[in-house]
Structure 1
């Protein structure tokens, strides 16, 4: 009984979690979503609260894409997933 390995502490992965996604399409999707968000600045809303949220979310998406590019280029993030 002492010879059996302990597997309770190992993470459990589904097969799809280990499959790498298409990074190019993910970046295009994020930047396209940011552009579409900025098109809604000319909507039929009053006040600037919506504008601030739309611009903030678009900047957040662009920032995430840029951070991913920089981290991968500097070798601080794995290129496999």
Structure 2
């Protein structure tokens, strides 16, 4: 099987569409925060939702800063 697969270098792969990734990340963050208004009674779910949304937002902010400084493609 391995002999049939073409050998490619990492620079031959298509780059990630940055704009689509940012829009998708923003949509996911908004959806996670909208889930706070549900029918759960405890705060454990709220902590997880806010934490995951915060981590995702931090990753997106770091990506924007690295791209602006030219440290990432």
Superposed pair shares fold, TM > 0.5: yes
Aligned to 2:3: none
Runs of 4+ in 1 over 3 A off after TM superposition: 12-15
1:1-81 correspondence runs (5 A)? 13=8, 18-77=13-72, 79=73
SS of corresponding position for 1:45 = coil
**Aligned Cα RMSD in Å?**
2.0
Q: Name structure 2 gaps, 5 residues minimum.
A: 1-6
Q: Which runs of 5+ in 1 are unaligned?
A: 1-11
Question: Larger Cα Rg: Structure 1 or Structure 2?
Answer: 1
Higher helix share: 2
Moved more, 17-26 or 41-50: 17-26
Aligned residues: 66
Q: Distance in 1 between matches of 2:9 and 2:41?
A: 46
Length-normalised TM-score, structure 1: 0.73
Structure with larger RCO (C-alpha < 8 A, sep 6+): 1
